[in-house]
Amino acid sequence: MTIERRLKPQINIDLTPLIDIVFQLVIFFMISSTFKTAPGIELNLPDSGTATTITITELTVIAVSEDEVYVNKTRTTAEGAAAVIGSELTGRSLEDVQAVLEAGAEAPYQLIVALLDSLRKNGIVSVGLSTRAPSRESP
């Protein structure tokens, strides 16, 4: 008895072109993507039990110290904040402008009052203070 052996064709898929295309796409998206980062200011915000999240703000004032105040990414001092706020508001209607004041928990009270005065001198009456929700560990 003789057994016939049939030759089975071997099918091999060449993955090299597929890998080349995938790498080219990865490189293309890495090069063409831009990442928007927030300013690198580290603040320890105070706790608040009634904190809410604001998604859109018109004017952001960040107080680090007397000599370092940021108004929409523009660095200034506490004395120069009023002038920078005025220049940021040129061409805007003051009725709809909302400002957010961010200061660290260790910031002096006088600094916060001075920045609030600078905002009021420029006609901004709607000011929110940025806080964080309290951690669940604290009572």
pTM of this prediction?
A: 0.57
* Per-domain boundaries in the chain: 59-129
CATH number of 59-129: 3.30.420.270
The burial of 43, by beta-carbon neighbours within 10 Å (0-12 exposed, 13-18 middle, 19 or more buried), is given as: middle
pLDDT in tens, 6-58: 777 778 888 899 999 999 999 998 888 876 665 666 777 788 878 776 555 57
Short-list 115, 109, 110, 111, CA closest to 128: 115
pLDDT of residue 22: 95
* Residue 62: strand, helix, or coil: strand
